[in-house]
Structure 1
Amino acid sequence: MTSPLDKAGSGAALHSRQTPTFLVESLKRTALDQLGGIVRGLIKPTELTLHEIELESPGTRRADQESLALIKQREAALVMRYRQLLADSFDQLLSQAGVAGQAKTALSLLSEEELDQHLDAQRIAATLRIRHARALLGAEARFATLARSLGVPDTKHPIDPERLAELLVKTLQGQTVPDGLRDLLFKQYQAELSHVLDAFYSQIDTLLGAAGYGLHVPGMAASRPVAAPAPAASSTEPMMWEQVAPRHGAPAAPAPASYAAPAVPAGSPYPPAAPAAGHAGAASAYAGVASEQLVRELGLLREQLHQWRQQAGITGHSTLPRAPGQEAPIPGAQRRPLRTDELRSVASLLQGEDTSHFAEALAHGGGHLQTALRNEMLEGARKLGLDPQYTSLSPEEQDAIDLIGLLFEAICDVHRLWEEGRNLLGRLVLPYLKLALHDDSLFVQPTHPARRLLDVLTEACESNRGASPHDRELLDRAQQAVERVIAEYQEDLSVFEMAASELNELVQQQRRRIELAERRAAEAAFGRERLMQARQDAADALSQCVREYKLTAPVRQFLSEHWQHHVVQTLLRDGADSARHIGAMNLGQALVEIDIAAASAQGAVIADRLLLLMPLLRDCLASSGLDASAADEAIARLVRALAWPDVPRSIVTPIAVAAPLEAAENDSALRLVDHAEQRQINQDALSAMRRLSLGDWVRLIDDEGFERALKIAWISPLTSRFLIVNRRGVRELVATAEQLALLAQAGRLIVGLPDAPFEGAMKQVWKHLQRAA
């Protein structure tokens, strides 16, 4: 197997390391290029967030806006300060080189504001370390090797999340930053770093590896496979995919030297295969694997895969089908496993051909893709003239076929991809199979370049029917990326990187449109809530005004229609404390009192009070859309009714108003909780839902079993309901904390940022293999 990049390190590399001074400068330039503009991206989003809060609650964030305006004036200076601090953190590596002990730092008391900033930085660092643990793994270990070679004291390195988080604290020193503004800035800083850290750590890892600072795996020999040591019984080191662990008591499988000499669990029907000519040999035993942990994970994955195949009854040496009229194979004839280069030639031959059967297999799931892929490869091998009597698929090649099949099916199982999205995914099956035959680190290396393309492609196609011009453009760009890989990929991984970057560029451009869609959805939901709340307040005001009084029909009609509508309008347009709303409320109370007086034949009092109410009456009728003539006629009806004490009177029956948003919501996800009102709500789940904040992500399992990544776009200041939108900013759900808690109890709602599609699919593959085993 050809090694894409020996991230495990080698003896030759250790003797040809790049000069540390030049290497540190190169790392510093990389950090400045990737991270130097982070501060510039903080101000605009924070400004928009404050503007939205100000629209909902005028005057509440005035101090934050003023402080942000001052920070914005000094934006250029702050960017330069951040870049200087970032550069200094690398320069300190050389200035501390050879120092035996770390210089003592003078201790001083921190102010409460400084303490809060450092606590915020620690929270950011903890979140980033967890979120980017896989990408950080190799880069951090290599950096530690560099630091030890320089004789630098064992301390935090410039690339550590803790150091990066502290950079913002130092950058903002001397600035007046209120607590609310600080929270927004730090949250945005975390988001900006999250967008770039995976790529940054991957580049650092690559630079250090190329410079000879490899990760030495103890006991690794260049001429023979070596079993990875079993983890200690007390180890708490997380496995490759969290929430998934090997079965209790199962021994750790030995890691393979290469796919030419796989690890064979006890009782497996697959005998060890001799190294094939198409492999690079045992010398590239750990090619493409960044650390011993990943080697172990690959071995465990393959062991589970072999057990799964044994349970499924899939034979170890699949043979080519005989053509019609061809003689049967000679009994006892030896079958030669196909060489990897032969199978890759088959994949290259078929790569540009029709792959609609792969898309159909993805639509059906349940292992159909693996079957279709085997049949396609075997038929392609026949076309190359390989003798079906003496040729078979080796277990190593079946590993690649099964893992690719399970991976692509898992992506379709978790993410809702319509027909066009499945077609695009099906087109990539053969290029990824060819890659897996060449580079097995695809399945265990979190920063593998080919993973990013599947991540971006899935995001672009998920729930995308191409209904809008923007969605159609996204699908067209996704197709271009797929066609580029099909046309250009041979063994160069940069093809995947370039295709992913081109597609991701459009995805990022559309994020601004998505943010706008989120704001519009929030504004629409808030408008509906305010309207329903105003109607409820007007209905309550009517009930309070009329009570049990018997009123004439014209007064009842006026209060129930024109006056109630007028109260709603004044609440929405002017506010509850406005003079216009107070006047409207006084008008209703006065009309009730006049009607009561009319029943007692107090004509003079009635006339005087009606004359005083004329401006309010006309304003009320105008807000209902009546012109001057219609308003005069309505007033005349009131006067005629109030002029006669014996006119029939009755009690007003206010019409009940539906609870806010209840009539507007009919989401299928809430049907589960519609009939569960009597179910006991778990208080821990309820507390977790109430802690959700703006911008948090949740994962919802819909009625068809698809997992949807959803975002909290707005929290109602009136009812505390959550507006939840999908990745495209389209409203998916409006629900209370109690309803979300019930969904969580039912296992249909998970709080937290969803995994990247590739990583999530590999988790599903691992679970599937463990269940079968």
Structure 2
Amino acid sequence: MPVSTQGPGDALRTETPAQLMEGIRREATARLLPLLGETLRSERARLQRACDDATQDSPARDADAEDLTSLTVLAAELIQHEHRWQRALGEVFAAWPEPPASHARSAFSLLSDDELQAQLIGQPVAEALDRRFESVRDIIDRRLHTLAGRLQYRGRPSNPLAARFLVESFLRAFEAGDCGRRLRASLLRRHEALLDAELGGVYAWCNTRLAEAGCALAGDSDHASLIAGLGGSTDTLPANKTRIWEQGNAVAQAGAGASPAARADAPRGNLLRRHARRQRDARRAELDAAERSFRRDEFLSTLALLQSERSLPPGDTHAIRLREGLYAVAGGLGIDRHTVAFDGEQDEALILIGALFDLIAARHQLTPAARERLALLSVAWLHLALEDAHLFEPSSPPAMQLLSALVELWDGVDPDDPQSVEQQALADRVADAVLDGAQGDSRIFPAQLAQIDGALAANRRRAEAVERRTWQALRGRERLDAARRQARIELARRLDGRPLLPSVAGFLDVEWRQALAQSWLRDGDDSDRYREVLSLGDALVESDGLAANDGGSAVADRLLGILPALRDCCAQCGNDANATEARLAGLVAEHASPTPRQVHLPTPPSDDDTPLLPDDADPQAGLADTTFAEGQRFVQPDGAGAGRTLRIAWRSSLSGACLLVNATGAREFLLMPAELHAMIEAGQLQARPGGGAVSQALATLAAQASAA
């Protein structure tokens, strides 16, 4: 496989302005496109919590439920909305250096309702984002001015990555016809927060890309204010002001053999590389014994051949297997392993990728075939570690997202489940596509991510529909259990070993308890209706006490006062008019005539009233445990080394109970957090932390590096 001997900076300088802008468009799309799906997921989780917490008949709950339904439709058509977003952003890049046509309208043009609404909600968001990133965006604007000058463009060019274009592209992806104005504005607010976290890295990368392509700042007369705007000091400006953006300042101009490592905007990558450097220094004697280091083009050629061979020597760690594989390929090219060693950048990348893949393999239940494919993928990711300074950052580039997706598909494969086997085959195909792809082609990662999403979309929709019906039924049953439990508690407080008239005790045990449970369900325990039913029970007990002490007219007055409430209580329980009058007549008759009183024992729950969770389950303890969250994955292993994947589809807002479903969305377990902890400690379930396999592994490596 031919390998260019040009340095990255030399290669970039040969690009035409159109090629450079197309490269920026592709990379920006790969970094920003996943935010659309994340926006939908975040807003959906918020609406779901709001619906769970709202009372049954509140207007806010109805509006949230309507928005949640719209979100479900939007999520099902996510690929279509992503295409709209890419088309909108592509139009901005295609028009460059001119602004896109929609922004070049006459001042006297009329706006449609959709455009007016988009402008009203989008302009404040765009202006806020522009203010936050004003300094670095201004630098990019000035570099684009230089680039536009090469095209003989005399005006001030647009910045295709300006916040206003990104916001408009988002609004064009989710048009007013797709969702209501309220939901559209909420989605934009959610997207603004995600852009706020991502744009810094995108702008820094774009700035570096333009600098490496030789795009100087237009008008260096204000270089001091630019340095100050970036938080730097103007006291250390070099005498030759045309070199202020070279090595050591905001942007490095790369020459032949330049390394992307140690970027100011890649803090976690720098931390991990420093830690790898310390490990490398421990083997200094071994490295110094070599006569020379691998040249960059020599190393990349060897790496490309190793990837094409699809074979790695055995070894205890991925780093060892990579080293031995590279030396074996180099030996076939006539390079003696005893005379050549890996240079600092190459060795650091080997250490980092080896440690990352070791952690991933150790933390997941993979079949031998999947483990070997994972090891082969480490070759491709070793190349990425050399080329992409932001590979290890929390922003999670598409390559890392793809690696996480592959590991999740391979993790806990159940050979008896056709869907699980199908997912494993999908992961195998995607891994093969990456290994067959050309090194350095970053387009393959978002493309394969889209392949996975497209292949799993139908199964995910079916599973979500099944699990939604399951947890909605469970939530309704749990609310009913909670209402009945609270009614039993209130009934026990009023009976409490107290001798009562049979009619009073019977009314409290049947009609009053049922009315109290219904008020809890419909209006909540802080509502006026619920408090009125509680007061009715207290008044009935008090009237019984007055009758026992020969209260005379006071008993009659009290009964007359609560008679309408008693009648409403009977009607709420479904008694017809005749049954209600007969019930109340018996109640009045027992108050008026001497009737023996006795202690009443509450009626025990029938088989139909058996609670979903045991009465001794502690809701406060369940809610206080925040270890588990919706969406968290688990693997249930079996004795043969296989397993199956489970997921928390719902967590109760009343008790903290967790519903675990399988890949098809069917219910497997309904457990309190304490029971779930016990199963994990017993090895019956293996918890997979949220955030993805790669994110958690990198967080662990960063913590180890910080501790060292």
TM range (shorter): 0.5 to 0.7
| TM-score normalized by the length of structure 2 | 0.55
Listed as ranges, the matches of 1:121-520 within 5 Å are 121-122=126-127, 143=144, 145-147=146-148, 149=150, 157-165=159-167, 181=183, 183-187=185-189, 190=192, 215-216=213-214, 236=231, 284-286=256-258, 289=260, 304-311=275-282, 315-316=286-287, 340=299, 343-344=302-303, 347-348=306-307, 351-352=310-311, 368-374=317-323, 380=328, 390=338, 393-395=341-343, 398-411=347-360, 417-420=364-367, 424=370, 426-433=372-379, 436=382, 440-442=386-388, 444=390, 450-458=399-407, 460=409, 473-486=422-435, 496=445, 498-507=447-456, 512=461
Instruction: Provide the residue aligned with 1:670 in structure 2.
Output: 625
Give the superposition deviation at 1:567.
3.4
* Larger CA deviation: 368-377 vs 398-407: 368-377
**AA partner of residue 347 (structure 1):** L
- With over 3 angstroms needed to count, the CA separation of the structure-2 counterparts of 1:648 and 1:63, relative to structure 1, is closer
**AA partner of residue 417 (structure 1):** H
**AA partner of residue 476 (structure 1):** A
Give the match's secondary structure for 1:186: helix
* Larger CA deviation: 470-479 vs 543-552: 543-552
- With over 3 angstroms needed to count, the CA separation of the structure-2 counterparts of 1:639 and 1:464, relative to structure 1, is farther
Give the superposition deviation at 1:428.
3.0
Give the match's secondary structure for 1:94: coil
Instruction: Provide the residue aligned with 1:745 in structure 2.
Output: none
- Offset from partner CA, 1:102-157 (integer Å, 9 cap, x none): x999xxxxx99988764444556789x79xx99x9999887455345565766862
Give the match's secondary structure for 1:501: helix
Instruction: Provide the residue aligned with 1:59 in structure 2.
Output: 59
Give the superposition deviation at 1:394.
3.4
Provide the C-alpha distance between the structure 2 equivalents of 1:494 and 1:672, rounded to a whole number of angstroms: 37
- With over 3 angstroms needed to count, the CA separation of the structure-2 counterparts of 1:91 and 1:283, relative to structure 1, is closer
Instruction: Provide the residue aligned with 2:3 in structure 1.
Output: 2
Provide the C-alpha distance between the structure 2 equivalents of 1:314 and 1:138, rounded to a whole number of angstroms: 45
- Offset from partner CA, 1:411-433 (integer Å, 9 cap, x none): 457xx53234x963552333432
- With over 3 angstroms needed to count, the CA separation of the structure-2 counterparts of 1:307 and 1:484, relative to structure 1, is same
Give the superposition deviation at 1:405.
0.2
CA RMSD after TM alignment: 7.7
Give the superposition deviation at 1:457.
2.1
- Offset from partner CA, 1:287-331 (integer Å, 9 cap, x none): 8x5997689998986565332222377832799xxxxxxxxxxxx
Instruction: Provide the residue aligned with 1:94 in structure 2.
Output: 98
- Offset from partner CA, 1:563-621 (integer Å, 9 cap, x none): 5245324643698999999899868965874697488699x99xx99x99999999899
Instruction: Provide the residue aligned with 1:567 in structure 2.
Output: 516
| TM-score normalized by the length of structure 1 | 0.51
Provide the C-alpha distance between the structure 2 equivalents of 1:644 and 1:170, rounded to a whole number of angstroms: 78
Q: Which runs of 5+ in 2 are unaligned?
A: 74-79, 101-105, 109-115, 217-226, 233-246, 605-610, 635-646, 674-688
Is contact 2:269-2:390 (8 Å) kept?
Answer: yes
**AA partner of residue 311 (structure 1):** A
* Larger CA deviation: 52-61 vs 451-460: 52-61
Provide the C-alpha distance between the structure 1 equivalents of 2:84 and 2:570, rounded to a whole number of angstroms: 63
- Offset from partner CA, 1:655-706 (integer Å, 9 cap, x none): 9x99999635876993999xxxxxxxxxxxxxxxxxxxx99x9999xxxxxx
Give the superposition deviation at 1:285.
1.5
Listed as ranges, the matches of 1:695-734 within 5 Å are none
**AA partner of residue 618 (structure 2):** A
Instruction: Provide the residue aligned with 1:678 in structure 2.
Output: none
Is contact 1:370-1:406 (8 Å) kept?
Answer: yes
Instruction: Provide the residue aligned with 1:247 in structure 2.
Output: none
Q: Give identity over the alignment, percent.
A: 18
- With over 3 angstroms needed to count, the CA separation of the structure-2 counterparts of 1:500 and 1:510, relative to structure 1, is same
Give the superposition deviation at 1:406.
1.9
Is contact 1:317-1:395 (8 Å) kept?
Answer: no
- With over 3 angstroms needed to count, the CA separation of the structure-2 counterparts of 1:515 and 1:427, relative to structure 1, is same
